[in-house]
Amino acid sequence: MKTRITIFLLLCSSLVVNVQAKDYSKHNKGYFCDVGVAFGGTFPKNNEPRAILEVFTTHGYQFSNTFSLGAGVATYNTETINIYMQFRFNLRDINETRTHYTYISVRAGYSWSTWTGDAWGDDKGPIVDPRFGWSFYTKAVNLRWSVFAAPSFYQFHFIPKIGLAFEL
């Protein structure tokens, strides 16, 4: 039940009601939101590897065609709450309609465990998540989405991830 509630809250926090239809063929200045999921694994020292499912949402501002800054929340297997800042750089100046382009981003923040230890939040630490991604535009449904690879560092553990995000 805790898993369903956490995922529901993360997804609901990213719902944005727009009165006007937005054109996602290019990145315009202004508010942005992305919602996504990533799959990866942890390889802790002296322990068995574990699969990781991350659900995340980021909200922020697109300052130019190449740079955006945002803040977000994520969870790993509903066992953590991760709060982060995200810096994103499009590797092309997106000033016209493009069907795809590459980007790099860095997410940095802090993580609290939702259950390990004697009390809530005993297991906590920094999180750094550099990403290399490819953003695509699907004209038929006016949708921008991206795939990415991320060699994350979570509480001093290495977590390689691949993911899918929808850019709203």
* Residue closest to 110 by CA, chosen among 86, 126, 122: 126
pLDDT computed for residue 59 by the predictor: 95
DSSP 8-state symbol, 21: P
Q: Can you tell me the distance from the alpha carbon of 117 to that of 106, in angstroms, rounded to the nearest whole number?
A: 29
Which residue type, as a one-letter code, is found at position 61? Answer: Y
The pTM assigned to this predicted structure is 0.78
* Residue closest to 24 by CA, chosen among 105, 106, 140, 134: 140
Fold of 2-14+30-167: Porin (2.40.160)
Q: Which CA distances in Å does 87 have to 7, 12, 54, 63, 162?
A: 24, 23, 19, 11, 18
The domain ranges of the chain are 2-14+30-167
* Per-residue pLDDT tens digits of the chain, which is 168 residues long: 555 555 555 555 544 444 345 555 566 678 989 999 999 988 766 777 888 899 999 999 999 888 999 999 999 888 888 999 999 998 876 655 667 889 999 999 998 887 755 555 567 889 999 999 998 888 887 788 999 999 988 777 788 999 999 988
Task: Work out the angle at residue 15's Cα, subtended by the Cα atoms of residues 107 and 123, and round it to the nearest 5 degrees.
Answer: 40
pLDDT computed for residue 161 by the predictor: 93
pLDDT computed for residue 20 by the predictor: 41
pLDDT computed for residue 17 by the predictor: 41
